[in-house]
Copies of this chain bind each other. A is one copy, B any other.
């Protein structure tokens, strides 16, 4: 059995770790953005939270729901990147191919959230598509390389 490519001495893997971690932090920050809107506008979806502020529960605040949709879109796309990026490292891509994929995906997902929160189309759609294309490219590279 050969030596593994999944060590930090492999510069491609190291790049993967960096961008995957940045995306993990970015995705986690969405919770705080939701919380900021909830606390700022006093919009709560749990009776016990609303009671602390003497308010009724509400599920239809457009700002809160917008952040939640952006967060859900992250959950639909970022874990797929974490998985496929790891497999992609094992195909021994060129450093340029790997860094292009990892950077493009990371920037596209940050851009997606910014455009989502600023209600900008078609910019949000373009950012979404770039993310999906990177994932599709990595999936194709993995299947093509190993089968």
Seen from chain A, the residues whose Cβ lies within 8 Å of a Cβ on chain B are 1-10, 14, 17-18, 20-21, 24-25, 27-28, 30-31, 45-49, 52, 62, 66, 69, 71, 75-77, 79-80, 82-84, 87, 90, 116, 119-121, 124, 128, 132, 135-136, 139, 142-143, 146-147
Contacts and interface: CB of A to CB of B under 8 A. Distances in A.
B139 A80 contact: no
A1 to B, nearest CB: 5
Contact of A20 (B75, B76, B87): B87
Given A1-B3, A18-B147, 16 more contacts: A4-B6, A5-B7, A8-B90, A8-B146, A14-B146, A17-B146, A18-B146, A21-B83, A21-B84, A24-B83, A25-B139, A27-B76, A28-B136, A31-B76, A46-B121, A49-B121
Contact of A80 (B24, B69, B80, B90): B24
Q: How many copies does the complex hold?
A: 3
Contact of A24 (B28, B135, B147): B135
Nearest to A116: B46
A51 to B, nearest CB: 8
Most buried by B among A17, A30, A75, A132: A17
Contact of A79 (B79, B135, B142): B79
Given A24-B83, A139-B25, A7 B2 contact: yes
Contacts of A9: 1-2
